[in-house]
Structure 1
Amino acid sequence: MAVASNCQKSSLVKVHDLQPLSEDQSFEFFKKKTFRYDLDGCCPNELIDISIEIAKKCRGLPLAIVAIGGLLSTKERKLHEWQRFCDNMTLELKKDSHLTGINKILAFSYDDLPFHLKSCLLYFGMYPEDYKVESKRLIRQWIAEGFVKEERLYTLEEVAEGYLTELIHRSLVQVSSVRFDGKTKSCCVHDLTREMILEKCEDLSFCKHISGDDPSSLSGIIRRLTITTDSNDFTKCIENSHVRSPFFFANVWQFFIEDFMRKIVTKCRRLKVLEFEAFSKDKLSNFLNENLGSLIHLKYLTFSKKKRLE
């Protein structure tokens, strides 16, 4: 976007803002890449529905369609195999050599970012797959984490909005919805971009995820933690860690949240960000009023009833 704008020699020259492909365009492009060698770009009837579903998961990104279409062009035309690939696409993409080039391209895009934008992009790794996060919420979390630099004449929120806009212009972040004033209301990252982010998060120990796996594998210093499990077996691990920003995305927390919060206020005094998804604060209002003051470093706290997983 910046290169195109700098190439404008007059106001009459229009800069074309390249948009993702539509679902119909994605499917047509997918067919050409997947069935070009043996079926002249035509999709077998028994694979039409699953092909449409796979093309949708590419979310209009030609780079993803080329890679996935090339991968599937080498597989047998059996519905059950394609369904298994679709259901486990993230895992399949990790182990396939077709994506080597894409990973390098995305890694170059990440490496080209200034330092402060790298942290902002990696923060999307805190959210589950296909998660659409509200831009205001994300911006406040960036500020609480200390990612946003002060600039004269601008508020921190305005500076952070500029960060988000730059990530969008670099095509690393996708706009999910727009507000009435044209600003980004919610955003997300493509599955392929998210895989690159998670790899970077692992290499840099930026954040950790706890789902259904054994939480006892957690070790060392953990600054940011995302929990999507319904079990509370990992609470001892958190107590012994140096977590600063835990995110919770499990409904079952309402059954043992008070016990966990007691541990939080006594064991994790340096928390900066505390995020609870799909949870009401009503049950904890008295407890929070009495104990939250001990978390003197806390800059961001959210209890949200509404799920944003889509």
Structure 2
Amino acid sequence: MQLLSEAESWKLFCRTAIPNNVIDNRPPELKVFGEKMVKKCAGLPLAIAVLGGLLSSKKQLPTVWEQVLNKLQVPFSEGNGVDAILSLSFIDLPHNLKSCFLYLGLFPEDWVIPKRELLLLWITEGFIPQQDEQRMEDTAEDYLNELINRNLIQVVAVSINERSKKCRVHDLVRDLCIKKAKKQKLFEIQNNIVHVPSSCSSHPSTKCRRQGIHFGSGGKFDLEMVEFSNSIAKLENLRSLYLEAYPPGMPSFVMNSWLHLSKLQIKGRIPQLPHARQFPPSLTQLTLEETELDYDPMAILEKLQKLLTLRLRKDSYLGEEMQVSAHGFPRLKVIQLFGLNRTRRLNIEKGGMSKLTQLQVFESVLDINGLSKLLLLQKVDVITTSLDHHP
């Protein structure tokens, strides 16, 4: 990490802490307290940015800044300044933002998070107050923007209208999320399956509501080098799982033993999908990406009785046609078809996807038959593609 000079540090602080980046017309004591805090940050960009984000949410009064400085005096003297700033920023978050923030720890290190996916996850987890669907998404985006303004989330891509499109969290921020979430029994992360402690895998007293398992560095792992231990089947409280591929030879009892798993993402080539009865019984969100299935996955996926959101992303299916039968996907509300370059047709029989409210087609050219039979459909998003549909 490259350290900033004294002048660069002060410039970053003013830009993040003070509206309009103007401190000269503020009380002189404000600058004194600000300079003291910036000096203690020792040129660390993350510390300065998060400190600035924290102060930007408070009144621009010398007494307020002095209180923040006093809270940081001891940690800075002990060499724990960055952790102290991050912890203080977390404590200062409004109650309704804390769970949303801690949830970011479930994503692997350096993971680029699509904004819309994150908002939908927050909504599904119950972190957003109950309203109509559009208002809930707007509220979730307000929460995201608040975390961005506090410099707890980094924007890595923006849309044409300069709204955040993708984001990620700094490694140290993610570490804080994991530590605080474990303490609050929100979730627990195990960085390698072979190191899953017995307290998480076999003790019924374990109370964590979510457990995430990220294989290898950056959430990636080589299936030829990792022995998929059956101890994963004992993670009874597992709620969210990201796999870079479906481990070959994994016994069917493993997945359906995760009684509380609600979100599953599989990325990477797999020979075949598990049978519908082998999927976790509480699964509500499923994402497949680059799985390169050569047969229609809908025949299996449409039997998942509790599935609410299905995302078929880049090269998840290599065939030309998909078929949804009558009564298939009885509860599905959102389907996203992204980068299915070889697929040309989606046929939906009457009664199939009867609860669908959102259809998203990105970078795919599809002829969709049966669209007019989706009586609850409220929103269709089509990006960089053409969409032909017939009743």
Q: TM-score, normalised by structure 1?
A: 0.59
Q: 1: distance between equivalents of 2:133 and 2:236?
A: 39
| Distance verdict in 2 for CA 1:221–1:285, change over 3 Å | farther
Q: CA RMSD in A?
A: 3.9
How do 1:164-243 and structure 2 match up within 5 A?
164-212=144-192, 213-217=194-198, 218-219=200-201, 220-229=206-215, 230=221, 231=226, 233-243=228-238
Task: For structure 1, list consecutive stretches of 5 or more residues without a partner in the other structure.
Answer: 9-13, 18-32, 37-54, 65-95
State the secondary structure of the residue aligned to 2:100.
Answer: helix
Residue of structure 2 equivalent to 1:156: 136
Q: Deviations over 1:73-127 (max 9, x none)?
A: xxxxxxxxxxxxxxxxxxxxxxx98641221221111112222211111111111
Q: Tell whether 2:20 aligns with 1:15.
A: yes
Q: 2: distance between equivalents of 1:153 and 1:136?
A: 13
1:61 aligned to which of 39, 46, 49: 46
Residue of structure 2 equivalent to 1:131: 111
Amino acid paired to 1:63: I
Shift of 1:215: 2.3
Q: 2: distance between equivalents of 1:119 and 1:274?
A: 20
Answer yes or no: is the 8 Å Cα contact 1:274–1:300 preserved in 2: no
2:123 aligned to which of 129, 143, 149: 143
Task: For structure 2, list consecutive stretches of 5 or more residues without a partner in the other structure.
Answer: 1-13, 23-38, 50-75, 216-220, 269-288, 316-391
Q: 2: distance between equivalents of 1:160 and 1:260?
A: 38
2:303 aligned to which of 293, 305, 309: 293
Shift of 1:168: 0.8
Residue of structure 1 equivalent to 2:248: 255
Q: TM-score, normalised by structure 2?
A: 0.48
Answer yes or no: is the 8 Å Cα contact 2:97–2:143 preserved in 1: yes
Q: 1: distance between equivalents of 2:118 and 2:154?
A: 14
Residue of structure 2 equivalent to 1:51: none
Answer yes or no: is the 8 Å Cα contact 2:86–2:176 preserved in 1: yes
Answer yes or no: is the 8 Å Cα contact 1:174–1:189 preserved in 2: yes
Larger radius of gyration: 2
Q: Percent identity?
A: 27
Answer yes or no: is the 8 Å Cα contact 2:240–2:264 preserved in 1: yes
111-120 or 227-236, larger mean C-alpha shift: 227-236
Is the helix fraction higher in 1 or 2? 1
Answer yes or no: is the 8 Å Cα contact 1:269–1:294 preserved in 2: no
Is the strand fraction higher in 1 or 2? 2
Q: 2: distance between equivalents of 1:286 and 1:236?
A: 32
Q: Deviations over 1:126-169 (max 9, x none)?
A: 11222221111111111121111134695321111111011111
Q: 1: distance between equivalents of 2:79 and 2:48?
A: 10
| Distance verdict in 2 for CA 1:305–1:224, change over 3 Å | farther
Answer yes or no: is the 8 Å Cα contact 2:186–2:210 preserved in 1: yes
State the secondary structure of the residue aligned to 2:80.
Answer: helix
Q: Deviations over 1:180-200 (max 9, x none)?
A: 111101111122222211211
Q: Tell whether 2:275 aligns with 1:275.
A: no
Amino acid paired to 1:276: I
Residue of structure 1 equivalent to 2:378: none
State the secondary structure of the residue aligned to 1:144.
Answer: helix
Structure scoring higher RCO (CA < 8 A, sep ≥ 6) equals 1
